[in-house]
């Protein structure tokens, strides 16, 4: 299939083309014509991960990227890469390769994709710099399938260097904007590959757990007719001759599904927040893992189901994604994520007491809205359900205190003051200042916000009026509860935050493939 | 937990309240106070589906909706419903129930949610109108948990009546707008429950199959900076001080993931099309099941992988969702869905020949753009990849011809004319008028559009210019291929269409929970 030297773009200089005329190996290398599905091929391409001593002395074909190439006398050493795997390869002047062929190999631009035929050879000394440490590939043929441009906007080796190594040894690292501007290359690093494979695993474990628990997956619309929750943080869409809005959460639709007897539902989808926040943990578009379920008598039935779902995710990640966790920790070292079974549940007032004991000045619950801790909720009040409170020093401190006392990175904070939660939050019948609502935290940062929702249209109307919400705008929502509605609750989890905090990373842009914030809309 | 007669809203009239004072059963019925998680309860609620002769003579608690109630002398018969299951229940004046209690039960509004305690009794004659045909429930206590308003905007029994029965017997059916306006009730019918459980199954089978094939799930942004594909059918979003757009497809991002070495990716998410089309098969927002993968030598590797994925979905649905399929067919009768393994692949020119043989006037391929069949593609040209060609009589006819000749409801149409496909479609190297592109059809309607994509930046630039596309707007896209890109292809599947056509339904609004079209943005 590869027709040697039949190149659309050649990197050889004219003089070398002339040399090629006398080159005995000239059919053994070159730039292939573009693969346009000209013909089918029986050739088997072997995965680099399969190149082990079991394959010693076999002739194999491999398609891979040229990670590095280095000429050394009459030889050229290449590192060939395929996702997180790589192998050393060698072209040496001899029976299979001419001087020109070695030179060709040495000049292939990094990140080009090549097809090589080679013999797998066992090596005497382990090759520490490659994942395939016990073998190398002795190349007999090499064809460029897709040629990379000579200048890369960032070097992969720099992109996986730990910050500390860069700082202490004065070696190059890559800043975040360069990474994001050139995301197609940045995503090729072993770290990025591991982060997004693990993220794919979070979604898989989330659904697997919920399907086993009898939940039904739903799809909710993202274009909605009214910015029901105040409207300050909502994106406006031109919808034919009118305006529409992007959903800040699937919550209203999840609840309608509960009123429509689906009983237990989940969805995974984009969530939009027009907040002008440029922090390490805010995105204008993120992925929500949402749960909603009817319960029998107490909203803790919901809390337990959600917490157990997260625990099953943590366990699944530690069982199935240990390689990815280790890969990321090489660049971003962190303590393994710890959690308890069952999950620790603290009441809000207990958390206040812990903070006070640690010397944080704090009023009683009545004064909470004026206290320092309020920053925890400043944003939540006008937002829908999940992932929106700002991370404050107190929140992080509480995380550290909980870790010291209970040895867990994951806990539930229950019974938030009613005043700081959205209008549809069920008040606590035993304490009119409290509510049946909760947040969940990982490594001291909030990853889920949820509550028992009001399922009675009369109380819902009262609470909406209390919050100054225009009843006309939420009429369809309130009407959903007029034809029999079971008690229910739920919550929304931010996928990028869970990924970030599980891996101990420090910026949510590392865990969003193509992040969106007030200043970034590309690529 | 239910405190009898401690009602927030009572439906009893004052005279009856007075009667209640002398009522020996007055603690045994009433309207419960709202469940606010006052306390936890050990009470076990039994599922209606579990009410079988094995439970005969047991006392059970059940929470369910009142589907119907009918007083008959000193008795009241109720049908209690839980999702698609229902059971007959009975309150009769006697040791457990007073006259007032029977009257209370008879007056509970339909669709209210009740907790009942009752004895399961085997019946001598099967109850044909209920799913639990061998038992009935003799009620000893009944409390309203959530009261429905007395007038329902639609009757569930009307909503599941087959059209033909409505027409021939003059009985009420429910029109589509009434259904959609009152979706929370319409979704409670056994038909809707079955449709959306099956749809949840399609997503599950899609992912299960692809994860087993080694695909990675990705999340792609929906807010994008440029309407790269022309812009005619794109929604505009106000993004802080600028404009942005809603993605018409995740395709550009899927391709970037391939360039970033993920090799095989899929995603499920909303897709937005600002088309002013009011047909049975167009929505302005639908759910795309998207696939993209690198291949070795021929794009048929991709075609086979996609077709097999769909076949695994069809098989899985027929194995795991037979009850749902049967339930839907009671209201909307249709032939079981047929498919072949491997999937039938026809070339475009073969399809033309079949149509010609059937007497359809059709020019040769050169004339195709002026032929009647062109309506098939009118819309596709400026759209991104999937699910957008209009359904024409010829397309449906071709489906019938293929069914007659090959006995399959599912087939691939391969090798579309280059002229009718988007600019990034790989031309066929053997025939400059053809392209390496394909659609897939179910029951004669298109559900997937896909192609080998151009992975060479030079050819991509040429083709974009040929299509008159502003290169500046697609710079980031073209640049993605400059640093080595493997040959690749993919396609996008419309979830609502697959659900509709698998079940033989006739409007995509039946398979979208909360459909969006140019005229509908609510609920």
Per mean pLDDT, which range of A119-133, A145-159, A393-407, B10-24 is the poorest?
B10-24
CATH 2.40.50.140 maps onto chain A at 42-146
Q: Tell me if B511 sits within 8 A of B186, measured CB to CB.
A: no
**A-B contacts (CB, under 8 Å):** 304
Which band of pLDDT confidence, cut at 50, 70 and 90, is reported for residue A16? low
Q: Do A219 and B199 touch (CB under 8 A)?
A: yes
What are the φ/ψ torsions at residue B329 (nearest 5 degrees)?
-70, -20
Per mean pLDDT, which range of A213-222, B203-212, B416-425 is the poorest?
B416-425
- Alpha-carbon distance B136 to nearest alpha carbon in chain A (angstroms): 22
Using an 8 Å CB-CB cutoff, list chain B residues near A459. 34
- Cα distances from A98 to residues A16, A105, A296, B57, in angstroms, run 13, 11, 78, 90
Q: Is B370 a catalytic residue?
A: no
What are the φ/ψ torsions at residue B332 (nearest 5 degrees)?
-125, 85
Q: How many helices (H) and strands (E) does chain A have?
A: 15, 17
If you measure CA to CA, which chain B residue comes closest to A428?
Answer: B36
A273-282, A477-486, B372-381: which is most confident: A477-486
Per mean pLDDT, which range of A14-18, B375-379, B463-467 is the poorest?
B375-379
Per mean pLDDT, which range of A59-68, A308-317, A464-473, B241-250 is the poorest?
A464-473
| The CATH number of domain A190-372+388-511, selected from 3.30.450.20, 3.30.930.10, 2.30.30.30, 2.40.50.110 | 3.30.930.10
Which of B400, B478, B378, B490 is CA-nearest to residue B445?
Answer: B400
| The CATH number of domain A42-146, selected from 3.30.420.10, 3.40.50.150, 2.40.50.140, 3.30.2270.10 | 2.40.50.140
Q: Tell me if A388 sits within 8 A of A380, measured CB to CB.
A: yes
- In A425-454, the residues whose Cβ lies within 8 Å of chain B are 426-430, 436, 452
- Whether A125 and chain B come into contact, CB under 8 Å, resolves to no
Mean pLDDT confidence for A74-88:
97
Which band of pLDDT confidence, cut at 50, 70 and 90, is reported for residue B373? very low
- Sheet of A264-272: strand order equals A216-217, A264-272, A285-294, A488-494, A445-453, A437-442, A410-414, A344-347
- Whether A274 and chain B come into contact, CB under 8 Å, resolves to yes
pLDDT for position B157: 94
3-class secondary-structure state, position A149: coil
ipTM of model: 0.91
CA distance B33 to B13: 18
Q: Looking at residue A45, what DSSP letter applies?
A: B
Q: How many helices (H) and strands (E) does chain B have?
A: 15, 19
CA distance A497 to A503: 10
Q: Is A446 a catalytic residue?
A: yes
CA distance B316 to B209: 10
- Whether A300 and chain B come into contact, CB under 8 Å, resolves to yes
pLDDT for position A14: 52
pLDDT at B37 over 80: yes
Q: Tell me if B302 sits within 8 A of B436, measured CB to CB.
A: no
pLDDT for position A1: 44
If you measure CA to CA, which chain A residue comes closest to B81?
Answer: A261
Q: Do B204 and A217 touch (CB under 8 A)?
A: yes
Using an 8 Å CB-CB cutoff, list chain A residues near B41. 296-298
pLDDT at B11 over 80: no
pLDDT for position B362: 56
3-class secondary-structure state, position A347: strand
Of B41, B285, B487, the CB nearest to A222: B285
B380 versus A66: the higher-pLDDT residue is A66
Using an 8 Å CB-CB cutoff, list chain B residues near A268. 268
Using an 8 Å CB-CB cutoff, list chain B residues near A270. 219, 221-222, 269-270
Q: Tell me if A434 sits within 8 A of A483, measured CB to CB.
A: no
Q: Is B292 a catalytic residue?
A: no
User: Tens digit of pLDDT for each residue in A328-369?
Assistant: 999 999 999 999 999 999 999 899 889 888 887 654 443 333
Which of B82, B450, B148 is CA-nearest to residue B290?
Answer: B450
Strands A135-146 and A85-92, by their bridges, are parallel
Mean pLDDT confidence for B87-116:
96
pLDDT for position A395: 82
pLDDT at A385 over 50: no
Q: Do B221 and A148 touch (CB under 8 A)?
A: no
Q: Tell me if A46 sits within 8 A of A60, measured CB to CB.
A: yes
Using an 8 Å CB-CB cutoff, list chain B residues near A49. none
Which band of pLDDT confidence, cut at 50, 70 and 90, is reported for residue B17? low
Three-class SS of A262-315:
CCEEEEEEEEECCCCCCCCCCCCEEEEEEEEEECCCCCHHHHHHHHHHHHHHHH
CATH 3.30.930.10 maps onto chain A at 190-372+388-511
pLDDT at B395 over 90: no
Which band of pLDDT confidence, cut at 50, 70 and 90, is reported for residue B364? very low
CA B125 to chain centre: 37
pLDDT at A4 over 50: no
């Amino acid at each position: 299939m590869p027709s040697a030297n039949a190149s659309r773009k050649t990197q050889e200089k004219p003089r070398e083309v002339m040399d090629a005329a006398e080159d005995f190996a000239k059919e053994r290398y070159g730039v292939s014509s573009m693969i346009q599905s000209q013909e089918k091929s029986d050739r088997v391409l072997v995965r680099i991960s399969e190149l082990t001593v079991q394959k010693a002395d076999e002739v194999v074909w491999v398609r891979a990227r040229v990670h590095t190439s280095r000429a050394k006398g009459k030889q050229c050493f290449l590192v060939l890469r395929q996702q997180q795997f790589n192998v050393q390869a060698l072209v040496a002047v001899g029976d299979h390769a001419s001087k020109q062929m070695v030179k060709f190999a040495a000049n292939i631009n990094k990140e080009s994709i090549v097809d090589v035929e080679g013999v797998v050879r066992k090596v005497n000394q382990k090759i520490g710099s490659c994942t395939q440490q016990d073998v190398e590939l002795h190349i007999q043929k090499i064809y460029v399938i897709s040629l990379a441009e000579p200048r890369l906007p960032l070097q992969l080796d720099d992109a996986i260097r730990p910050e500390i190594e860069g700082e202490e040894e004065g070696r190059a690292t890559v800043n975040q904007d360069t990474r994001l501007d050139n995301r197609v290359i940045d995503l090729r690093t072993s770290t990025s590959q591991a982060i997004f494979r693990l993220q794919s695993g979070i979604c898989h474990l989330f659904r697997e757990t919920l399907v086993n628990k009898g939940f039904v997956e739903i799809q909710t619309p993202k274009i909605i007719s009214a910015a029901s929750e105040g409207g300050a943080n909502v994106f406006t869409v031109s919808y034919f001759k009118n305006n529409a809005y992007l959903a800040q959460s699937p919550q209203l639709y999840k609840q309608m599904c509960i009123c429509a007897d689906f009983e237990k539902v989940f969805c995974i989808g984009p969530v939009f927040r027009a907040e002008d926040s440029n922090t390490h943990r805010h995105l204008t578009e993120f992925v929500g893992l949402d749960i909603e379920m009817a319960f029998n008598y107490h909203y803790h039935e919901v809390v337990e189901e959600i917490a157990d779902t997260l625990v099953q995710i943590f366990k699944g990640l530690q069982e199935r994604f240990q390689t990815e966790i280790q890969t990321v920790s090489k660049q971003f070292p962190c303590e393994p994520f710890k959690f308890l079974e069952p999950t620790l549940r603290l009441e809000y007032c207990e958390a206040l007491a812990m903070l006070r004991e640690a010397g944080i000045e704090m009023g009683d619950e009545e004064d909470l809205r004026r206290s320092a801790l309020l920053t925890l909720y400043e944003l939540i009040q006008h937002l829908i359900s999940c992932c929106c409170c700002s991370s404050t020093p107190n929140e992080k401190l509480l995380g550290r205190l909980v870790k010291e006392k209970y040895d867990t990175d994951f806990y539930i904070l229950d019974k938030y003051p009613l005043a700081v939660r959205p209008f549809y939050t069920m008040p606590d019948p035993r304490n009119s200042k409290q509510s049946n609502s909760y947040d969940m935290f990982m490594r001291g940062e909030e990853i889920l916000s949820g509550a028992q929702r009001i399922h009675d249209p009369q109380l819902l109307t009262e609470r909406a009026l209390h919050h100054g919400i225009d009843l006309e705008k939420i009429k369809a929502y309130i009407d959903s509860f007029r034809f029999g509605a079971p008690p229910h609750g739920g919550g929304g989890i931010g996928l990028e935050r869970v990924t970030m905090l599980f891996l101990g990373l420090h910026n949510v842009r590392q865990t969003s493939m193509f992040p969106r914030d007030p200043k970034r809309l590309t690529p």
